Structure 1
Amino acid sequence: MSDNERKKSNELISFLDILSPSRRSNNGSYSNLSQLDDTQNNTENNTNNQTKEKIYYKVSVEEPQKKNFDSILSQSFYKLIVSTNNPNLPNTEYIVERKAKDFQILYQILLENNPGVFVQPVIDKYSFNTTHEELMKNRKHSLEKFIKQITTHPVLQKDLVIEKFFTKGKFNEKEPDSNKKFRLFRNIPNNTFLKGTENDEKILNQKLRIELLSNQLKTLIKVLENLTKNQKEYISTNDDVIQTFLNFEKSKEDKPISFNIKSFRTVMEKIRKNEKKYQKQDIHDILLISDEYIQKLDSLKNCFNTRTRLYNTWMDTSQEYKGKLETLSKSKDSWLFEQETLKAKKKEFDELNQKLKNQENDFNRITDTIQKELQEFEKLRLEEFLDAIQHWLEILLEKENKKIKAYEKYFIHIEKENQKSSQDIN
């Protein structure tokens, strides 16, 4: 081998050594520099944020109104009364109109723009049976919670699409392609976790808990619906008892028995009135929260699925890198590179190496984001369920106290009547 060939071969071997994964993985300077850059960026961002006035939105959602565009087509619009100090928007109270589909599109775009961030879902349908009036009320409730979450979230509220949504006029954002990964959740009734290699035990446990919680909530909804059904049957039974007592009164039995039956019928009527008043009201909150959280868990699954897609892309790039490296290594004895070819190859590998680092950083970033979002999610979940259960118990106690008072009045009334009858006999 000539000196020139030996020199080129040594250059190639040195080049391969530099690209070797073992050497690259031992070099921690990139991650340290990345952490330093992140720290500096965070410090700069915090400083900038402190100098700026915090943006706020106050939005109330009105009942939907239908508009007829011709003799056939009509659409429902929600009026939003918006108040904000955002300098890019009117800073006084004003009104914008949005279609129900606009909220779904905004939700989908926020998911796409903010990977790993939990976005409150816009709930179009509920799994439990409701009247049309209840459905409209629940939808309005869902939209209000959606707007509140996205406008108070420290990351989501900075997304420019929110400004577009609150700008007067049409919301000219197109719905994401339904054939791609970002489909409306109303078209995915049973959202599942994407399959992918996962060796993080903490993440695996979190996914398992999400699936378990979702199944538990579905079971709870069935139990609550059965309870509602039993309430209806109980009211129906009360109606039969009251009618029976009423028929007995008409038979004109002796006065004391007739009086007792009439008094007891009055008690039953009061109990029936209370049961109808509190029907569904006592379990409505916890039923609504349970169904909401089933769909919220689907939104959380989307965060994990985005992380899985990033991980799979990162691994594909890694395999591509290793494949090219092996091909180049096998060719080192038979292929004598010119200097320019070596430079081109090094540039190609440097770009691929940088791509790997960026993908790894994106994966680590979304993992950290999901963990932070999960903490907030769990905190909110506990608070909302505790409030719903407390409200349920308060309604139950109020209903039972009224029932007890009705019986107490009945016994007092009967006792007075018995004393009066005894005095008349004497």
Structure 2
Amino acid sequence: FEITVSDPHKIGDAMSAHVVYKVHTKTSQPGFDSEEYSVRRRYRDFEWLFNQLASTHPGVVIPPMPEKQSLGRFQDDFVESRRFALEKYLRKISVHSLLQADDDFKIFLTSENFTIETRVRRPETSRGFFGVFGEVMSGSFSKYSETDEWFENRKDQLDALESQLRSLLKAIDTTIKQRKELAVAHGEFGQALRALGEAEASPQLARSFEIFSELQDHLRQLQERQASFDVKTFESTTDEYIRTIGSIKLTLTARVKAYQVWQADAAELHRKTSSYDRLRNQTRFRTDRTSQLQAEIGQLEIQTENHRHEFEDISTLIRAELERFDREKVLDFKESAEQFLSSMVDHQQKVIRLWEAYL
């Protein structure tokens, strides 16, 4: 797959305004009628895809969506940041061995009648990242005491990692804010120098002020570009992994729910077995009732065993997903750090060349 999200533009009136994006896909995967597709999608379409994938693939860590935002959602910086995050979201799905062949993913990438097709498909049984995350945080799920030490340790590690990443994101945001403020200061300094030069009687001094003003404008542009690049490297990766941890926690709730279903069946099986034993021990018992209980117990035994296997399969899948998370985390942060450091070196070299040219 080669997927790009581009050309964001606002459509609709004040009450229904939203941003649509062009999703362009090139693929050589089997099952596609063409090698290239280009469709228009809005944010809620991306969210629909997340919900469908989470419903279809319990135990899989679905790549996280960028967060919703009401205020400033049409500002250029925010739209570009969301476009970039949505593109990474689709690319992560496209390289996942289980998700890349999903029918809903194919529909999302290719359908020209997306709204109609999504209406006739199965209902969204999952409330997705934001709906279920609210339930997790509010404690809507029944209490669950972890009995597997491996999962207990991983939960503690994830909580610690999330805390560390949030601290890092705060520091990165402060750095970007300071860089933007410095860009503004260079711009204001340049404007003041230009005004001073225009008021200067000496042509030679006026020219010096003009050149100094141009230098400040170049420095402003450099700071703005560096701030923008910082957003797309370190900040983007850090924010993405904070959201990925949220997605992992949602995946863990699928395991909890599978366990609760299994245990509910086991409890019901125990209750019916006890009823059957009591009935058998009575001097007079109804044959029709014992036959009914036997049938129900047989069905429950199969159902309980199936749900036990479901729980074990989801647990195994989550273990593999968390191992994949660990590998990708190292690679993604290594790449972001290298890009960040390379851009900083390049930035400083350009600053030095500007000052050398001026002097």
Q: What TM-score does the superposition give when structure 2 sets the normalisation length?
A: 0.79
Matched, 1:326 2:274: yes
Alpha-carbon spacing, 1:100–1:230, altered in 2? closer, same or farther (3 Å): closer
| Partner AA of 1:204 in structure 2 | E
Residue from 324, 344, 348 that aligns with 1:396: 344
Deviation sequence 1:251-275 (CA, Å, 0-9, x none): 999x9x9999999888766655533
Instruction: Give the corresponding residue for 1:183.
Output: 127
Instruction: Give the corresponding residue for 1:132.
Output: 75
Q: Is the 8 A contact 1:66 1:77 kept in 2?
A: yes
Instruction: Give the corresponding residue for 2:312.
Output: 364
Distance (Å, rounded) in 1 between the aligned partners of 2:149 and 2:326: 19
Q: Is the 8 A contact 1:282 1:391 kept in 2?
A: no
For structure 1, which runs of at least 5 residues remain unmatched after alignment? 1-56, 414-426
Distance (Å, rounded) in 1 between the aligned partners of 2:2 and 2:206: 61
Instruction: Give the corresponding residue for 1:160.
Output: 103
| Partner AA of 1:102 in structure 2 | D
Distance (Å, rounded) in 2 between the aligned partners of 1:60 and 1:221: 26
* RMSD between superposed Cα atoms in Å: 4.0
SS for the counterpart of 2:114 is: coil
Could you tell me how far 1:306 is from its partner in structure 2?
Answer: 0.5
Matched, 1:295 2:243: yes
SS for the counterpart of 1:98 is: strand
SS for the counterpart of 1:81 is: strand
Instruction: Give the corresponding residue for 1:103.
Output: 46
Q: Is the 8 A contact 1:282 1:396 kept in 2?
A: no
Instruction: Give the corresponding residue for 2:5.
Output: 61
Q: Is the 8 A contact 1:108 1:176 kept in 2?
A: no
Q: Is the 8 A contact 2:64 2:89 kept in 1?
A: yes
Alpha-carbon spacing, 1:336–1:60, altered in 2? closer, same or farther (3 Å): same
Instruction: Give the corresponding residue for 1:312.
Output: 260
SS for the counterpart of 2:118 is: coil
Q: Is the 8 A contact 1:96 1:169 kept in 2?
A: no
| Partner AA of 2:101 in structure 1 | K
| Partner AA of 1:170 in structure 2 | F
For structure 1, which segment, 127-136 or 382-391, has the greater mean C-alpha deviation from structure 2 after superposition? 127-136
Instruction: Give the corresponding residue for 1:225.
Output: 173
| Partner AA of 2:305 in structure 1 | K
Deviation sequence 1:171-221 (CA, Å, 0-9, x none): 43249989xx73243456765485412111110111122222222222222
Alpha-carbon spacing, 1:359–1:149, altered in 2? closer, same or farther (3 Å): same
Matched, 1:173 2:83: no
Instruction: Give the corresponding residue for 1:377.
Output: 325
Distance (Å, rounded) in 2 between the aligned partners of 1:241 and 1:158: 55
Q: Is the 8 A contact 1:283 1:392 kept in 2?
A: no
Could you tell me how far 1:276 is from its partner in structure 2?
Answer: 3.9
Alignment map for 1:212-361 (pairs within 5 Å): 212-235=160-183, 243=192, 271-272=219-220, 274-337=222-285, 341-361=289-309
Q: Is the 8 A contact 1:116 1:367 kept in 2?
A: yes
Deviation sequence 1:46-86 (CA, Å, 0-9, x none): xxxxxxxxxxx444333234556x99866544333344456
Residue from 59, 62, 66 that aligns with 1:123: 66
Distance (Å, rounded) in 2 between the aligned partners of 1:160 and 1:99: 19
Could you tell me how far 1:316 is from its partner in structure 2?
Answer: 1.4
Instruction: Give the corresponding residue for 1:36.
Output: none
Q: Is the 8 A contact 1:121 1:295 kept in 2?
A: yes
Q: Is the 8 A contact 2:279 2:285 kept in 1?
A: no
